[in-house]
Amino acid sequence: MSIQNVASWNNLQKDWNRLKDVHLNDLFLDNPKRFDQFSFSKDDLNIDFSKECIDEGVLRNLIKLAKECNLEQQRDAMFSGKYINSTENRAVMHVALRANSTDAYEVDAIPTSDMVDDVLNEFLNFADSIRSGKISNAHGQSFTDVINIGIGGSDLGPVMSVNALSAFSNGGPNLHFISNVDGNDFLDTTSGLDPKRTLILVASKTFTTIETMTNAKTAKDWLLSKLTESEISNNMVALSSNLKATKEFGIKNENVFGFWDWVGGRYSMCASIGLPIALSIGSKNFRELLAGFRDMDIHFKTAPLNKNLPVLLGLIGIWRRNFMKLPTLAIIPYDQRLDRFPAYIQQMDMESNGKSVSKDGSDVSIETAPIVWGEAGTNAQHSFFQLLHQGTNIVPVDFIIAARASHNLSGHHEKLISNFLAQSEALAFGKSKDKVLKEMLKNNVDAEKAKNLTPHRYFKGNKPSTSIIHKELSPFSLGRLIAMYEHKIFVQGIIWGVNSFDQWGVELGKVAAVEIGNVIEGNESISNLHVATQPLLKKIYELRK
């Protein structure tokens, strides 16, 4: 049955017809205590939806929609190890990576706890041994630097988390990341580093990803500039399940940490892909990160839908995307150390739900994933907030802030908080023309000039936003925050009827790049390429002469 025939979907459409001309100013005038009604908490994590264009009827119908789409049953199917990734015939069990044995997760009737714990203990012990100098290079020297070579899910989660948790590094090695196949990424990252004292992590589940393997081969040559063939094995680690390929590359088996086909790349930072995080913050803090993930997993699994933070966050996103018809989402963390968080959620959301095909193979009949983007505040305010406040498109925003600073510099965090609060207030309520005019006249601006300037200084407001507040940024709170967005994306995928756990759209460009690469390398004729591509390649050849 089409989602548009579901009773609650039609009721939500009626809700939007009822609310589309109602300003947030009016909603707050009618109910000044909207915060009490539309804010939800789990321990110190608080989400405020009061500045969204919703009322009690909307929230009630969104919960009904989740039930009518069998969200609870689909959620239980994921946690029970069912093969919900239908196009790849796989379970989706990233929750098992951060579970306790008491959670009793299984895949194919095999408990996951022992296998997960074995790999977790191995790579965490390895991380601590690198940090302490117990594991060293061939000359007995400790590693001062670590370079993680990966892309997509093998890069975005680790680099975001290492940046976010830099306050918890406690003297660990310096972490660096190479993802782009552009050689400048490699050159800029390795500039000034000593190959002898640099540990290279090659993160690729299949050990075949073109960008990663190209950079890995260059890294191997870089190591060989200062080390012998027999010595470099101490400086190389693989995060992969392809033992044959890693051995052929020259990486010893004890330096290979694998994971399982029921772990998708963008959900893999709690597996061995998280080794760079562990190298940065140590095993104790890494386990705290996992505990934060699990805390949200259990909440998502057990909390009633009307108090379930990922469910509510997902449903508000459905309201924005499908009824308000808003195609984008800006994520603005007011924390410089979370500056890569928008990019991480961008990949997770757009790769998961950026689909136009339903699970049954039919075309979807509704809008799916929004375009996700963003930057850390307050920088974003001096970049694209002009468009948010006065542009022709309405852009919903998720604002994120910690109540406590992770530093002791006087006055900084207070200014950050004031901006966080001011922006959501200004987006919601704007500034009327009357108020703009009166302010200018009060400041002795010429009446005619004030009249002419008023349209430029007027703000419509009525721009929706959600405010997310937690006590402080820590390994635990970061894990909890990420898991909340993971499950939010799952919720939306269920309602849209798409498979959130494949990414066939990523593959098309990869295959085309291989075909074009064969021509560039002289293995095939340029005439084999598409007529649109041939002249572009010829132009590049001309410019390279």
Distance CA 169, CA 189 (A): 20
| Cis amide leading into 208 (omega within 30) | no
By C-alpha distance, which of 488, 480, 468 is closest to 310? 488
What lies within 8 Å, CB to CB, of 99 at 6+ separation is 105, 112, 113, 116, 294, 297
Cβ–Cβ < 8 Å for 478, 340:
no
Helix (H, G, I), strand (E, B) or coil at 326: coil
**What one-letter code names the amino acid at 323?**
F
Bridge partners of residue 526, in order along the sequence: none
Distance CA 368, CA 356 (A): 7
Q: Locate the DSSP E strands across 264-324.
A: none
Residue 457 has phi, psi (to 5 degrees) of: -105, 5
Residue where the block lists tokens 């393997």: 213
By C-alpha distance, which of 386, 364, 349, 296 is closest to 99? 296
72-81 long-range Cβ contacts below 8 angstroms, 24+ apart: 72/305, 74/494, 75/300, 75/301, 75/490, 75/494, 76/301, 78/490, 79/105, 79/301, 80/106, 81/105, 81/106, 81/107, 81/108, 81/112, 81/262
Cβ–Cβ < 8 Å for 23, 461:
yes
Tell me which residues are annotated as active site.
351, 382, 510
C-alpha torsion 351→357→363→367, nearest 10: -30
Cβ–Cβ < 8 Å for 107, 262:
yes
* Residue 129 CB coordination number (10 Å): 13
Total residues belonging to the chain: 545
Distance CA 245, CA 238 (A): 10
Return the half-sphere exposure (C-beta side, CA atoms, 13 A cut-off) of residue 20: 12
502-511 long-range Cβ contacts below 8 angstroms, 24+ apart: 502/85, 502/87, 502/88, 503/351, 503/352, 504/87, 505/351, 505/354, 505/355, 506/152, 506/351, 510/210
What lies within 8 Å, CB to CB, of 495 at 6+ separation is 3, 65, 66, 69, 71, 314, 315, 318
Q: Is 384 exposed, middle or buried (0-12, 13-18, 19+ CB in 10 A)?
A: middle
